[in-house]
Chains A and B, each alone.
Chain A
Amino acid sequence: MADYKIGPGYVHGYEVSPKDKNNTKRAYKDLGVTFCGIPMKNPIVAASGTFGNGPEYADYLDLSHEVGAISIKGLTPKGRPGNAGTRVAETPSGMLNCIGLENPGAEAFVETVLPTLASYDVPLFANVSAGTVDEFGYMAETLSVPGIAAIEVNISCPNVKNEGLAFGVDAKVAAQVAAEVRKRTTLPVIMKLSPNVTNIVEIAKAVVDAGADALSLINTLLGMAIDIRTKRPILGNLYGGLSGPAIKPVALRMVHQVARAVDVPIIGMGGIMTGTDAVEFMMAGADIVSVGTATVVDPRAIGRIAEEMHEYCEKEKIEHVSDITDTLQV
């Protein structure tokens, strides 16, 4: 394909074809990291809800070498069919989604899905949601099984005992969830913070004080899209979560603020499409990063971004990718 005219934005090496098993990439030495005691081949987590359960991408990426970790599609105590109607909408440099946590339920996942992931040498984070603080505890307990490396707690979901207000918007409630999950598992507890708050630093501090081992930020920003022709919202659920490059500046700012305020490792995410984006998040204070919407656009995104991070390290003579964390000069 060398004779093809390559348009702007194309990254050399991107034309790697999936399914060609001889394209198997080696993990880069300078990208290997340890996060909460979990060894990872690179600092990129496949974000929950954008990577299926993982095997969907086995033809596009070498899951055992090109992906740092996989955060499983959000699980709930009982299986959920997800929302009816239109679930995704494209917006300027972003996308809205209201999937509605479609999943088989925690127990069914452990019994039927988890065994299918055993053949891949990649850490799995169980991303969990629940309707009450106690249910979060149940989730942590149920998912604390061999094969799961950490529990990532989604506190952007509605609290059924508090008029459906998200757990993550109230520092006290968020801390209760963190404490309950911490009590009921020995695995690392990663709290995934909602950006739909007035003061994310306050929430971050509260959950760390309650025992969170790490933070993941940011989740999607609540948004909406309208079709003026039909005079109706595009999403079946009216509102949805905005992700993609559109939210990157907000995410970077929040990662930077939180990294200054807490002492636990941070997974930075929000619109990372390239290695440059990932490096920015690490400079802002993230220890590792997570890639979601980029995978929706390009199933090979995580492998490509890892490669670009490696190229950056080589070019800048950075011995190890972790050395980038917190190097922002203000």
Chain B
Amino acid sequence: MSGYVELGRVVENEQIGSDVWCMVVYAPKQAKEAKVGQFCDVRVAMGTMPLLRRPISYAGFNAQEGTITLLYRVVGKGTELMTQLSVDDTIDCLGPLGNGFTIPKRVLLVGGGVGIAPMVCASNHLPEGTKATVLLGFRNKEEAFWADLFKQDKVDVHITTDDGSLGTKGFPTAVLPSLCANTKFDSILVCGPTPMMKGVAQVAHELGLSCQVSLENRMGCGTGGCLGCAVDGQDGRRYKVCMDGPVFDSEEVGF
């Protein structure tokens, strides 16, 4: 779907982890229409460097306040520039873009790295009377700040770390089978590094569970015009991550 070009006003922009920042932007049109799993294409600077927008999943939106929340990892010049914005600065936000997740009653949210952002969003926009199970994969306990974003009574958080410094040692796939044995989930939602998403999709496939993956391909326009973010479908078609995704059924695409 197509979005709005909004000149948003920065309400908050703070570092919440070693290289992760949280930006809240007043962008009322997006805040009203956004859905979990959709994204905002942010133009970091109005000059020509950097030139392209940065696609960032909504980590939250609040229609009443008119705000959207973006959690971003500082990976290059663009995101570095984002950290320099202050309250009341203007930021060009294009959104909401993409399709979004379908959240069933019994859902398992799996996230790794900055892919946890849309899961934060999902945990705050669960269908009425629903509880969610959250499974987060960290490299080590330094990333524990992500878990704090889920502090609410409707979610049950599980953690794995690569080095075993927090939660269960290993990747999320290590605890996935036991989690799925204890609770009958209607669907797994996953976003994170590709190997993690592949692993989760594989387990979901073996258990016969539906699995929705949110892809993070390099993107050009975000609006379906340039075909820069194509992904191969299992049906032989090519899909546009920006418009047909970023959320796909894991059986639908090769990623």
A residues with CB within 8 A of B:
1, 4-10, 14-19, 49-52, 56-57, 59-60, 73, 81-82, 84, 86-90, 92-95, 97, 99, 102, 244-245, 273, 293, 295-300
Contact = CB atoms under 8 A, between A and B. Distances in A.
Given A4-B9, A89-B218, A95-B52, A60 B90 contact: no
B228 A97 contact: yes
B227 A87 contact: yes
Given A49-B226, A59-B2, A93-B49, A14 B7 contact: yes
Contacts of A4: 7, 9, 90
B227 A57 contact: no
Given A50-B226, A90-B50, A95-B52, A295 B218 contact: no
Contacts of A99: 226-228, 230
- 3 smallest CB-CB distances across A and B, nearest first, come from A9-B46, A88-B228, A59-B2
Given A4-B9, A15-B5, A297-B43, A90 B227 contact: no
A8 B46 contact: yes
Contacts of B224: 52, 56
A240 B43 CA distance: 23
B234 to A, nearest CB: 14
A82 B238 contact: yes
B4 interface: yes
B237 to A, nearest CB: 9
Interface of B: 2-7, 9, 29, 43, 45-53, 88-90, 92, 94, 217-221, 223-230, 232, 238, 243
A96 to B, nearest CB: 10
B53 A297 contact: yes
B227 A73 contact: yes
A7 B5 contact: no
A49 B224 CA distance: 10
Given A50-B226, A60-B2, A89-B218, A293 B7 contact: no
Given A73-B227, A93-B48, 17 more contacts: A1-B7, A5-B90, A8-B47, A10-B46, A15-B7, A17-B5, A49-B227, A52-B226, A57-B225, A60-B5, A88-B219, A90-B52, A93-B49, A95-B51, A295-B221, A295-B225, A299-B225
B223 A57 contact: yes
Contacts of A8: 46-47
Contact of A5 (B2, B4, B88, B92): B88
A52 B218 contact: no
What DSSP secondary structure best describes chain A's contact surface?
loop
Contacts of A95: 51-52, 220
A297 B50 CA distance: 10
B46 A87 contact: no
Interface centre among B29, B45, B230, by most chain A C-beta atoms within 10 angstroms, is B230
6 contacts: A5-B89, A5-B90, A8-B47, A50-B225, A93-B49, A298-B94
A97 B143 CA distance: 35
Contacts of B48: 93, 244-245, 273
B221 A300 contact: no
A245 B219 CA distance: 19
A291 B168 CA distance: 53
A300 B41 CA distance: 14
Contacts of A56: 2, 223-225, 243
A84 B232 contact: yes
B2 A50 contact: no
Contacts of B218: 86-89
Contacts of B217: 86
B6 A17 contact: yes
Given A19-B2, A95-B52, A52 B46 contact: no
Contacts of B52: 88, 90, 95, 296-297
A49 B238 CA distance: 16
Contacts of B5: 14-18, 60, 298-300
B121 to A, nearest CB: 22
Contacts of A87: 218, 220, 227-230
Nearest to B8: A4
B92 to A, nearest CB: 8
A18 B227 contact: no
A320 B29 CA distance: 37
Contacts of A89: 218
Contacts of A295: 221, 225
A182 to B, nearest CB: 30
Nearest to A234: B218
A59 B243 CA distance: 14
Contacts of A82: 227, 230, 238
A294 B29 CA distance: 23
Contact of A88 (B3, B50, B220): B220
B29 A296 contact: no
